[in-house]
């Protein structure tokens, strides 16, 4: 078993790192100052130009033709600099593009995958509702068959990339009597009559990443826009979320690595050094603190192994529900713990918006919540063990 990147994977990782450091870093203050009011469209355009928007998509469909591990490595590196930009790319690819490649018709692949994989279009995944978050089977949005169309009514919330996205993979109930087996997936384009994009959520973190409510009022969708068979939507959602959770695990890993780097820098600063340009203006004062940082370092390394093991299994087509949940659970808990440690140990500098620790802590918290809360992932892992 080799625990290293191939030359091709390493090249993509380095390209993503260079892009993040050189092009995302200067825009972070703007994204933070504007909060959730601005979407970094210029960065999405640059990711398209760099072939980052379709890393694991075959070249015949407009993608870069690389593997899933390369994609996860890119999410990891970008999220070390900006978790907001990382989740834009993660949602676009894992749950906004790949489901069409896996479940779509030839015509749907021709019409949509190429636009998404090339970055010409941005994708989104509309599953969550006010009363249905981690419990996807509880959605209430309805799609009623009417001749050769479906009429869609309902509400979605906390939809990442909403407002900026050109295509929404949307889930609705077509047969309430069938429970989860009565959910169907649809491809809904921006600008569809009856689709309303709500105001952007004011979030604790991930500033720059759009999160909006969607309202459907008698939206007419041609049957040709159905993704997969009628009643297959729940299976599509579950299959897509396995990959999506690995993307969020990679995002969490990036946050944890960035916070850990701050702590490592703190250990290297002499106790009386007060350099104004130091990334850390506080200081870690004892060998006991060094032991704590060592423990966190081991925890981040463990998270990295979980993330890339899940990515490898996904890439090889192996069942990875338990592994993706474990990676997301452990990496997100690690991100919160390491970012929290950075804030605490830096003192007032860590609490200041002038330092990155404060942003890392705010960004980390949501990774325990979306793509299934960590409480849900403990249940998923437990159910897998009981099998």
Distance, CA of 258 to CA of 106 (rounded, Å): 42
* Active site annotation includes 371: yes
Instruction: Output phi, psi for 38, to 5 deg.
Output: -130, 140
DSSP states of 304-340: HHHHHHHHHHHHTT---HHHHHHHHHHHHHHHHHHHH
As a whole number of angstroms, the distance between CA 186 and CA 170 comes to 5
CA 283 to chain centroid, in Å, comes to 33
C-alpha 140, offset from chain centre: 24
Q: Which of 106, 301, 371, 375 is catalytic?
A: 371
Helix (H) or strand (E) holding 172: strand 167-173
Residues 6+ apart with CB under 8 A from 273: 283
DSSP structural state of residue 38: -
Q: Within 13 Å, how many C-alpha atoms sit on residue 238's CB side?
A: 16
Backbone angles phi, psi at 222, to 5 degrees: -60, 145
Taking each helix axis as running N to C, give the angle between helix 83-90 and helix 68-81, from 0 to 180 degrees, rounded to the nearest 10.
150
C-alpha span between 208 and 84 (Å, rounded):
6
- Please, are residues 169 and 92 in contact by the beta-carbon 8 Å criterion? no
For the chain, how far is it from start to end, CA to CA, in angstroms? 27
Quick check: 254 and 87 in contact, CB under 8 A?
Answer: no
SS3 79: helix
What are the distances in angstroms from CA 59 to CA 29, 65, 114, 243?
35, 5, 9, 20
- Could you tell me which residues are beta bridge partners of residue 211? 160
Could you tell me the two tokens for 259? Answer: 């916070």
Residues 6 or more apart whose CB falls under 8 angstroms from that of 318 comprise none
Catalytic residues: 371
């Amino acid at each position: 078993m080799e625990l290293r990147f191939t030359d091709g994977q390493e090249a993509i990782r380095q390209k993503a790192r260079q892009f993040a450091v050189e092009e995302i870093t200067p825009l972070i203050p703007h994204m933070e100052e504007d909060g959730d009011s601005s979407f970094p469209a210029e960065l999405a355009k640059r990711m398209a130009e760099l072939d980052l928007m379709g890393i694991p998509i075959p070249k015949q469909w407009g993608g870069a033709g690389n593997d899933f591990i390369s994609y996860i490595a890119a999410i990891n590196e970008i999220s070390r600099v900006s978790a907001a930009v990382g989740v834009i790319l993660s949602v676009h690819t894992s749950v906004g593009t790949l489901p069409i490649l896996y479940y779509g018709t030839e015509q749907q692949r021709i019409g949509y995958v190429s636009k998404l994989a090339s970055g010409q279009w941005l994708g989104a995944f509309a599953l969550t509702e006010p009363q249905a978050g981690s419990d996807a089977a509880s959605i209430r949005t309805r799609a009623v068959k009417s001749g050769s169309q479906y009429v869609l009514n309902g509400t979605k919330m906390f939809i990442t990339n909403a407002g900026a996205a050109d295509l929404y993979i949307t889930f609705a109930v077509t047969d309430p009597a069938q429970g989860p087996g009565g959910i169907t997936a649809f491809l809904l384009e921006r600008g569809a009559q009856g689709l309303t994009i709500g105001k952007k959520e004011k979030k604790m973190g991930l500033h720059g990443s759009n999160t909006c409510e969607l309202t459907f009022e008698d939206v007419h969708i041609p049957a040709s826009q159905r993704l997969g068979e009628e009643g297959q939507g729940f299976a599509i959602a579950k299959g897509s979320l396995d990959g999506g959770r690995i993307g969020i695990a990679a995002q969490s890993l990036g946050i944890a690595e960035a916070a850990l780097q701050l702590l490592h820098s703190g250990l290297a600063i002499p106790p009386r050094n007060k350099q104004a340009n130091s990334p850390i203006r506080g200081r870690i004062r004892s060998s006991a603190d060094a032991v704590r940082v060592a423990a966190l370092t081991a925890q981040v390394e463990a998270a990295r192994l979980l993330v890339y093991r899940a990515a490898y299994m996904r890439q090889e087509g192996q069942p990875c529900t338990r592994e993706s949940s474990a990676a997301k659970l452990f990496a997100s808990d690690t991100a919160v713990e390491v970012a929290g440690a950075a804030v605490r140990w830096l003192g007032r500098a860590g609490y200041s918006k002038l330092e990155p620790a404060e942003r890392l802590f705010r960004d980390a918290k949501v990774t325990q919540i979306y793509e299934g809360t960590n409480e849900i992932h403990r249940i998923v892992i437990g159910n897998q063990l009981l099998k």
